[in-house]
Chains A and B, each alone.
Chain A
Amino acid sequence: SSELTQDPAVSVALGQTVKITCQGDDLRGSYATWYQQRPGQAPVLLLHGYNNRPSGIPDRFSGSYLGNTASLTITGVQAEDEADYYCNSRVTGVYRLMFGGGTRLTVL
């Protein structure tokens, strides 16, 4: 069945670079969208399409693709980047959306 797989947890030192991945066969034909969710808050759109950032999203957030894997890279991680990150995409051939299980980013 269609699904998106994310690592449950990742940690990174303040100021370093981290890559969060999202793997799924449907990503071969669809873009991934990335959301950030801080504790107790609603999700916020980070990236959509091929590396498109909404206004207000810092350019330290970027996206890339390789095969069936989409990646979110945060360059120069800040303390406020500590959050859950979700990828999202369409299921190929039907109108249905799916989310990855989410990655909890801890900033050390």
Chain B
Amino acid sequence: EVQLLESGGGLVQPGGSLRLSCAASGFDFRASAMSWVRQAPGKGLEWVSGISVTGGGTYYAPSVEGRFTISRDNVLNTVYLQMDSLGVEDTALYYCAKDGYNLGDFFDFWGQGALVTVSS
């Protein structure tokens, strides 16, 4: 059974940093591209970032480029999202998602999300 377990969410002040982790199991993690998608309270889905199977390719939404960094550890089967210079607009539930086939094709499995609240 595919499982994606996000952690690391919480309350942070504007300008602060947070690192999300997503522990994966139940599939060949080393052969799967991974992504992060967020959802602000009461709003729609927004793609945040994606990473290739080796980690050599990383991609970001314009709204987070230069502030967020995606990475992965293919030994620990974990993908990370380092979030710096956080603003109130980054408040959202952050989902980790497994890419199907290739990076960006579609997301065939999702975690339950990690809540990030940016507030003073």
Known: A42-B95, A42-B113, A43-B95. A97 touches B108 (CB 8 A): no
- The answer on a CB contact under 8 Å between B59 and A88 is no
In B28-45, the 8 Å CB interface with A consists of 35, 37, 44-45
In A33-80, the 8 Å CB interface with B consists of 33, 35, 37, 42-45, 48-49, 54
- The answer on a CB contact under 8 Å between B44 and A101 is yes
Size bracket of the B interface: 20 to 34
A98 interfacial contact with B, CB 8 Å? yes
Q: Which residues of B contact A102 (CB under 8 A)?
A: 44-45
How many residues on chain A are close to B (CB under 8 Å)? Answer: 22
Known: A42-B95, A48-B100. A95 touches B59 (CB 8 A): yes
Distance from B117 Cβ to chain A, minimum over Cβ atoms (Å): 17
Interface residues, chain A, with chain B CB atoms under 8 Å away: 33, 35, 37, 42-45, 48-49, 54, 84, 86, 88, 90, 95-102
Please name 5 pairs of A and B residues whose Cβ atoms are closer than 8 Å in the assembled complex, sorted by A: A42-B113, A43-B107, A86-B45, A99-B46, A100-B44
